Amino acid sequence: MDKKDLLELTEGLNQWETKPLFNLPSLFFADGPHGLRKQLVINDAFGASSSHVATSFPTASITACSFDKKLLKNMASKIAKEAKALNVHVLLGPGINIKRSPLCGRNFEYFSEDPLISGTLGASFVKGLEDNGVGASIKHFLGNNQELYRYTINSVIDTRALREIYLKPFSLAIKENPATIMTSYNKVNGIYTNEHPILKEIVRGEWNYQGVLISDWGAVNNKLNTIKASHDLEMPSSKGFFNSQIENKLDDEVLKSLTETKERISTLVNKYAKNYEETVTFNEHHEYARHVARESMVLLKNEDILPLSKEEKVLFTGPFTNHMRYQGSGSSLINPYKVDTIKDKVPEFSKNVTVTNGINFDSENIDSETIKLASSLDKVVILVGLPDEYETEGFDRENINIPSNQIKLIKEIYKVNKNIILILVGGSVIDLSFDYMAKGVLLAGLGGSASASAILDILYGYSPSGRLAETYIHKLADSNVQLTNNNSSVYYDESIYVGYRYYDTFNVSVKYPFGFGLSYSNFEYSDLTTSISKDYLNISFKLKNVGSFNTKEVIQIYIGAPKSSIFKPKKELRYFDKVALKVNEEKVINIKINLDDLRYFDIYEDRFIF
């Protein structure tokens, strides 16, 4: 077996393909986590070229709020179909990093501050791809929780936080056998992730992962160390730069690792590198994106103002009414098949509607005609949130505020009309200190290219069923997490107290808590029983829809240990599911929680214990 060919196999052929060695065809990678982004120019080293048309599905930050495993699986299956139509073999997603800080500029790509949500929904996404013949790449392993200085930053994380919070999503998603795991740019406790002992000790060892470990694009710093760590594939091609440095260092240990890599890459290529005759019906996928969005959006406030009736005279305004923001910026940016806007779609719901911009994104000047209209109509829906440049790969936010001109618009309308409904657009937490001026608040997030239609569905009567997958704090100062503003180290001093684990345990008041969300209907829980068998905690209860809307309820089971002798959060999410209920329908819910899932990691025994 030629040593040089073994080494050659460990780097990409170009920006997106593996090398066709050992009678293997090339394997094609493409982004992304909420829709396909296959570039038109394969050898574009900067990833700046435009891409093929695809469906822009809702981003992970809002789909996580669906708490719906089946929904994520089905969405991924649609993306897989689009990938196969363009001969993409492995999709670079989902992103399952923990949303440690609301400032992370890439939070829109990630599911949650909670590892169970992140890992479980990530696993569902993986299954949707893998069941349909497309490989998944769960990312970014490990400790990649900020964008600023991501290429060099050292994430300093204690062992227990690593095990219970940051490794947990990957351990859950791996159960669905993703084709690859993508390692991140950063260091963890002083070692680059693609060179880290964790790869051999935990990923290959404890988890018995047999798939391919690939680098984030351009993340390799020391090729020899990556090979020794059981890391397989350097992406993209470095045109032999790293390989030339180690050609004379291929001792028996390295050759053994290279041989194992060859077997893993061969298995990967033989399984996925196929050409399909696939036809995509983009209209169907666009409608499914709309379905995903409306199942995910979260009603945060409703003082008897929603749903709207077709007879009411309503003003829709705000900078997003005709320029809907529906995705984030960076490597996941999709060239959408089409994009719905409020202005184009609202006539399908009501004829008693007026649409204005109110303000432009970059102007403090408020349209006087908008204020005049607001004073004469029954209700005003204002779309506000984060502009494109506020959330993007490669940068973090400096604060959690929306632009001041948008708040100014709300205040001016509030002076003349108190019946305000706010629609929140964006991929992460924002300061909502202005929502006292609204009687209704709907979190739309970044809901994909059909987001506008989904918003209107809910406003005009489709009962919302989303629940927050991250805590909405009052102000940034309430967060216990610090990011670094230099390229050395960021210290995870909060340990396991991330998100609601901190706010609940230390009684910090929040604006809207994790797991919160309203419905147009009401639910009744009754006849709760619990028991413990040998391996499981058994929970049973009745759930009834006692309202007047067919809808869905999100079941959330939290468990705490108030008398524990070691530090633990006040409560932790241990189970969730989504249940559809028609009006007056009642279901018996039976839940089994594996007792092993209730363990904590003991740093002295170096294992999970009770």
Please state the rounded mean pLDDT for residues 412-436.
Answer: 99
Q: Report, as residue numbers or ranges, the catalytic residues.
A: 216
Supply the pLDDT for residue 25. 97
| Tokens at 349, concatenated | 């719901």
User: Is residue 200 within 8 Å of residue 226, measured between CB atoms?
Assistant: no
Q: Model confidence at 438, in pLDDT bands (50, 70, 90)? A: very high
Please state the rounded mean pLDDT for residues 349-358.
Answer: 98
Please state the rounded mean pLDDT for residues 399-415.
Answer: 98
Q: Is the pLDDT of residue 45 over 70?
A: no
Supply the pLDDT for residue 47. 59
- Domains of the chain, earliest start first: 3-272 (3.20.20.300), 293-505 (3.40.50.1700), 523-609 (2.60.40.10)
Please state the rounded mean pLDDT for residues 507-521.
Answer: 99
Give strand ranges (E) for 256-392: 298-302, 314-317, 335-336, 353-355, 379-385
Cα separation, 443 vs 79, in Å, equals 24
**In angstroms, how far apart are the furthest CA atoms of the chain?**
81
Tens digit of each residue's pLDDT (9 = 90 or more) over 315-327:
999 999 999 999 9
Average pLDDT taken over every residue of the chain: 97
Supply the pLDDT for residue 393. 96
Tens digit of each residue's pLDDT (9 = 90 or more) over 178-225:
999 999 999 999 999 999 999 999 999 999 999 999 999 999 999 999
Cα separation, 123 vs 72, in Å, equals 9
Q: Is 200 exposed, middle or buried (0-12, 13-18, 19+ CB in 10 A)?
A: middle
Q: Is the pLDDT of residue 482 over 80?
A: yes
User: Is residue 601 within 8 Å of residue 159, measured between CB atoms?
Assistant: yes
Compute CA distances 552 → 453, 521, 581, 586, whole Å: 20, 9, 6, 12
Supply the pLDDT for residue 494. 98
Q: Model confidence at 1, in pLDDT bands (50, 70, 90)? A: low
Cα separation, 372 vs 365, in Å, equals 15
Tens digit of each residue's pLDDT (9 = 90 or more) over 11-40:
999 999 999 999 999 999 999 999 999 999
Supply the pLDDT for residue 247. 87
Tens digit of each residue's pLDDT (9 = 90 or more) over 236-265:
988 888 888 898 899 999 999 999 999 999
Q: Is the pLDDT of residue 46 over 60?
A: no
Supply the pLDDT for residue 68. 99
- What angle is formed at CA 454 by the lines to CA 452 and CA 458, rounded to 5 degrees? 120
Supply the pLDDT for residue 48. 61
Cα separation, 114 vs 55, in Å, equals 28
Please state the rounded mean pLDDT for residues 338-364.
Answer: 96
Please state the rounded mean pLDDT for residues 138-146.
Answer: 98
Tens digit of each residue's pLDDT (9 = 90 or more) over 261-307:
999 999 999 999 999 989 999 999 999 999 999 999 999 999 999 99
